């Protein structure tokens, strides 16, 4: 985007370091800009009580997001797979979800509230905890098995027309785009999307109402995981498929996580001011890393839902991973890499292990440094 056409760009903002600007008071990714005396700010080169040297401080935020008020928590979203309700109809497995879209303001960094539009499901962990449908960003991670009939009862309880467009194989009528099939679902209306789960992989769903970039950027997206059915494969492939299918005990040996990479345009200038893994800036930062048992195999379903920027990326420190592009293969499409990039809607599965590693905090983040410093910075807390 041509920076000269905009009033104040985020880069101007970073240069100025003007923390008084609306919507950015909490970000201190670049603490050096305006180093306030805060409880957790350490002087240069002081050894912290964790034994680490804090020279210019770590990237992070001052203060805390009120996850309770949001109604969803990044650590819960990380491992919450929404399996819906499973039933049998005419000898066929049917998996069904009751889904809504609502308007919802949520806190993405301490003191920074985003006026979002989000999806919620009756069967998400957040909704079950609250005994009511809770909207969340990213939306619930839908998980099913290839070959099942999926039924998604969608009600638009938001203030704008929305749809749900699934990445997968289905009829045009069920594609959730304006002007085709049922098209837009207006405020107060309902529609049931129904199609077979295929192909297996790491997919996504999102609103496809226009203007598209606004509807997606507002928060209407989520992960859509179709597990392979081991009975369709044989030999080594069958064994791998079992580890990928949540209904098999082989799957329990793997620690599975979901990260949707996203960004938030808090001042509506068509650029993101905050970046995150699962919506909360530094949500898995040094103050709340992801605990990992070092001997357990790790599987990360990674999806890029970032609007406005052409790509996003992930880089894992001090380790390498195997990558399954779109998750649609049982053998990796890339082996022994430590960085991959994804354009919007691109996704894949990372598999890695910290077996025999020294316990400690292992960083992972977008390798666009700007994204990392504006919130997409995380840690694994590797434990023996």
Binding residues (CB under 5 A) for Cu ion: these are 162, 207, 209, 215
CB 311 within 8 A of CB 370: no
Cα–Cα distance between 18 and 307 in angstroms, integer?
Answer: 24
CB 6 within 8 A of CB 350: no
Cβ-based nearer residue to Cu ion, 160 or 297: 160
Whichever of 207 and 340 has its CB closer to Cu ion, that residue is 207
Q: Among residues 81 and 99, whose Cβ is nearest to Cu ion?
A: 99
The distance of closest approach from Cβ of residue 207 to Cu ion in the complex, given in angstroms and rounded to an integer, is 3
Provide the minimum distance between the beta carbon of 169 and Cu ion in the complex, in angstroms, as a whole number: 23
**To the nearest whole angstrom, how small is the minimum distance from the Cβ of residue 176 to Cu ion?**
10
Nearer to Cu ion, 208 or 242 (CB): 208
Identity of the residue, 162 or 365, whose beta carbon is nearer to Cu ion in the bound complex: 162
Q: Closer to Cu ion at the Cβ: 40 or 159?
A: 159
Give me the least distance between CB of 209 and Cu ion, in Å please: 4
Intra-chain end-to-end CA distance of the chain, in Å: 46
Question: What's the closest the beta carbon of residue 217 comes to Cu ion, in angstroms?
Answer: 10
CB-wise, 117 or 301, nearer to Cu ion? Answer: 117
CA separation for the pair 225, 176 (Å, rounded): 18
Smallest separation, CB 367 to Cu ion (Å)? 30
State the sign of the Cα–Cα–Cα–Cα dihedral 356, 357, 358, 359.
Answer: negative
SS3 87: strand
Cα 246 to Cα 145: distance, rounded to the nearest angstrom: 8
Residue 96 · residue 74 · CB < 8 Å: no
Rounded Cα–Cα distance for residues 276 and 29 (Å) = 12
Nearest to 366 by CA among 214, 263, 223, 257: 263
User: What does the alpha-carbon distance between residue 67 and residue 44 come to, in Å, rounded to a whole number?
Assistant: 31
Nearer to Cu ion, 9 or 262 (CB): 262
Length of the chain: 384
Phi, psi for residue 303 in degrees, rounded to 5: -135, 135
Supply φ then ψ for residue 247, to 5 degrees. -90, -5
**Which distant-in-sequence residues (6+ apart) come within 8 Å of 226 by Cβ?**
143, 144, 145, 146, 168, 197, 198, 199, 200, 201, 203
Shortest gap between Cβ of 100 and Cu ion (angstroms)? 12
Q: Phi, psi at residue 8, to the nearest 5°?
A: -125, 115
Compute the least distance from the CB of residue 214 to Cu ion, in Å: 8
Could you say which DSSP state residue 126 is in? Answer: H
At closest approach, how far in Å is the CB of 215 from Cu ion? Answer: 3
Q: Which is nearer to Cu ion, 207 or 363 (CB)?
A: 207
Choose between 116 and 230: whose C-beta lies nearer to Cu ion.
116
Least separation in angstroms between residue 75's CB and Cu ion is 27
With left for phi above 0 and alpha for psi between -120 and 50, is residue 278 left, alpha or beta?
A: left
Say how far apart CA 154 and CA 174 lie, in whole Å.
12
């Amino acid at each position: 985007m041509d920076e000269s056409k905009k009033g104040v760009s985020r880069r101007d903002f970073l240069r100025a370091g003007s923390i008084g600007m609306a919507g950015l008071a909490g970000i201190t990714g670049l603490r050096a800009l305006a180093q306030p005396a805060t409880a957790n700010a350490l002087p240069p080169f002081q050894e912290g009580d964790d034994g680490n040297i804090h020279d210019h401080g770590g990237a992070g935020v001052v203060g805390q997001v009120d996850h309770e008020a949001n109604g969803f928590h990044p650590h819960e979203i990380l491992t919450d797979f929404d399996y819906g309700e499973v039933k049998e109809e005419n000898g066929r497995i049917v998996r069904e979800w009751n889904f809504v879209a609502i308007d919802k303001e949520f806190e993405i960094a301490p003191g920074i509230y985003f006026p979002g539009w989000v999806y919620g499901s009756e069967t998400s962990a957040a909704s079950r905890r609250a005994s009511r449908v809770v909207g969340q960003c990213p939306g619930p991670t839908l998980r099913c098995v290839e070959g099942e009939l999926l039924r998604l009862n969608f009600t638009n309880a938001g203030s704008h027309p929305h749809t749900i467009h699934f990445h997968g194989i289905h009829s045009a009528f069920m594609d959730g785009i304006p002007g085709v099939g049922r098209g837009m679902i207006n405020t107060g209306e309902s529609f049931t999307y129904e199609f077979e789960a295929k192909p297996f992989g790491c997919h996504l769903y999102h609103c496809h109402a226009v203007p598209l970039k606004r509807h997606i950027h507002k928060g209407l997206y989520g992960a859509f995981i179709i597990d392979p059915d081991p009975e369709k494969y044989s030999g080594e492939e069958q064994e791998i498929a079992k580890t990928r299918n949540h209904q098999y005990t082989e799957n329990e040996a793997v620690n599975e996580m979901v990260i949707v990479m996203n960004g938030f345009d808090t001042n509506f200038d068509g650029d993101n001011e905050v970046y995150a893994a699962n919506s909360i800036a530094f949500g898995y930062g040094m103050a709340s890393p992801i605990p990992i048992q070092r001997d357990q195999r790790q599987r990360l379903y990674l999806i890029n839902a970032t609007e406005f920027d052409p790509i996003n990326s992930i880089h894992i420190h001090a380790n390498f991973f195997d990558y399954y592009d779109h998750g649609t293969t049982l053998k990796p499409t890339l082996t022994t890499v430590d960085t991959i990039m994804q354009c919007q809607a691109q996704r894949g599965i990372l598999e890695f292990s910290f077996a025999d590693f020294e316990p400690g905090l292992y960083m992972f983040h977008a390798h666009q440094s700007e994204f990392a410093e504006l919130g997409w910075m995380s840690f694994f807390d590797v434990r023996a």
